Amino acid sequence: MPVPHLLDTYQLSAHQIEAIVAEAHGYLRQDGSIADAVNTTENRRIVLAFFESSTRTRLSFEAAAQRLGVSTSTFVPAGSSLEKGESLQETLKTIQAMGFDAIVFRHATNGVHHELAATSGIPIINAGEGSRAHPTQALLDASTLIERFGNLSGLKVCLVGDIQHSRVARSNVDVFKKLDVEVSLCGPPQLMPELGEFDGVPHIASIDEAIEWADVMYLLRIQHERLERHDIPTADEYKRRYALTSDRLRSKRDIVIMHPGPVNSGVEIDTSLLNDVRSLIHRQVTHGVAVRMAVLKRSFIPRPLNLKGNDAASL
């Protein structure tokens, strides 16, 4: 059986995306809160290894694991044997040899997840990879939108901001297109993707036109940690030209606002809009836990029946 890695959304069909979302919705109660699903995962153990900062993804994987009865250990790169020259490959083999069932892995380098997966015997779950992929973010966004709208076919979503450096944009455009969403992009020309990337996805020049067109405004911050150029707009300039403000939304009472976080409040979005009735930003976070419960469950390799040791005593 191939190792059930989750490396990106490109590996998922529309049917598989919908199945993960349906399972995630099964973990949500009528009142919108998250339910526990204990005793379904046979004492599994996972490692959380984050080589880039995170609040939402790391904590929600941990929360998802707790709700499934899965125990978590945290690998902290600083102070690990990587500092003595050990390779990432060998670190992963070491984690595997300890009997962990999966590794949730975030890293700034594009391609490193695929590279490790080529030799890993345990599933690698991509928790964010450079500017290339953030599959669980796209899945939780789809889950949030499906809860709100049901079928997403024909829904108009405009992604606004620093598209070029955004792994969220890449994974979301892929998932949205598979779910038949109409996607467009808006942002400073120097932060738009290279010509040819996102073929067939139109660019909208001004935020006011984008608001007019869209059912959903999906905002992204400028990814300062990945910027190599110096001609980006200042925060004031960005805010003047591309920020979602209460004023700009005056005529669009039924629009939906999304943002993957972290938010640079007062730059790409007015602080007052974060808790606006039109905002799904905190609902996205709740879906993050439910979706990651579904993702963890699909990632575990079935265990062979073991007749040695304690397992035999329980037969």
Place of tokens 């020259």: 85
Burial of 116 (0-12, 13-18, 19+ CB in 10 A): buried
Please identify which residue in 98, 237, 262, 303 interacts with ligand CP, judged by CB under 6 A.
262
CA 113/CA 189 separation, integer angstroms: 30
Closest to ligand CP by CB, 53 or 271: 53
Shortest distance in whole angstroms from residue 56 CB to ligand CP: 4
Closest to ligand CP by CB, 168 or 204: 168
Closest to ligand CP by CB, 12 or 133: 133
Burial of 119 (0-12, 13-18, 19+ CB in 10 A): exposed
Which of positions 125-184 make contact with ligand CP (CB under 6 A)?
A: 128, 137
CA distances from residue 313 to 54, 121, 310 in whole angstroms, order as listed: 42, 27, 5
Number of H helices, E strands in the chain: 10, 8
Interface segment toward ligand CP; rule CB under 6 A; list 80-88, 194-202, 240-248, 255-263: 255-263
Interface segment toward ligand CP; rule CB under 6 A; list 76-84, 111-119, 148-156, 260-268: 260-268
DSSP H helices in 33-134 = 56-68, 88-97, 112-117
Nearest Cα residue to 273 out of 289, 254, 258: 258
Closest to ligand CP by CB, 274 or 301: 274
Binding to ligand CP by CB under 6 A, coded x per residue (else -) over 204-243, reads ----------------------------------------
Which of positions 50-79 make contact with ligand CP (CB under 6 A)?
A: 54-57
Question: Considering the rule CB under 6 A, would residue 260 count as an interface residue with ligand CP?
Answer: yes
Binding stretches for ligand CP (CB under 6 A): 54-57, 128, 137, 260-262
